Amino acid sequence: MTARRSQKYIALLILLSGLLTLPVFANEPVRPPNDDSDRSTVRVNTYWATHALGKAACLQRAKETLTKLEYFVDITEKSVFGLKEGLTASIRCDYKGLAFFVMAFRTRPDAPTQQKLLADVTTEFSKKRNGGKQRKMLNG
């Protein structure tokens, strides 16, 4: 047997042994070696939505949204940041027709609370400004 053929057989054996053990571990969470998730306090949620606004209009809508929800607002070239009570919200208007939402929490609110706070921002952003009717947004 040549060295090249031996290498192929060894690689095949390694692959097969990995496939045989995969089902055993497939449903078990894998923790990193230095897992600090039980002590970590930062949480991040994201969402994206399509819209028919240009970049400037998207940034304006983002500013109006966060201001209405009583965030302290800071605007950059591509994003609007909002700060309020231990969390930071960001609405990024970098790509035409797409808004990317990020919520970062300094504390550990439960998942339903995180989802509600993010939904408040995305729902307000999605409202039309002529009478407050909401338009449907796509979620990713």
pLDDT in tens, 35-49: 666 666 677 889 999
Q: Where is pLDDT greater, at 116 or 132?
A: 116
Tell me the Cα Rg of the chain.
Answer: 23
pLDDT band at 15 (very low <50, low <70, confident <90, very high): very low
Q: What is the pLDDT of residue 64?
A: 95
How confident is the model over 47-99, as pLDDT tens digits?
999 999 999 999 999 999 999 999 999 999 999 999 998 889 999 998 888 99
What average pLDDT does the structure give for the chain? 77
Six-digit token pair at 9? Answer: 């057989």
Q: What is the pLDDT of residue 70?
A: 94
45 contacts 108 by C-beta, under 8 angstroms: no
Q: What is the pLDDT of residue 38?
A: 63
Q: Which amino acid is residue 33, in one-letter code? A: P
Distance CA 93, CA 57 (A): 9
Six-digit token pair at 44? Answer: 């991040």
Percent of the chain scoring above 70 in pLDDT:
61
Q: What is the pLDDT of residue 35?
A: 62
Structure-derived torsion over alpha carbons of residues 110, 36, 106, 93, reported in degrees to the nearest 10: -90
CATH tag, 43-126: 3.30.310.50
Q: Where is pLDDT greater, at 88 or 25?
A: 88
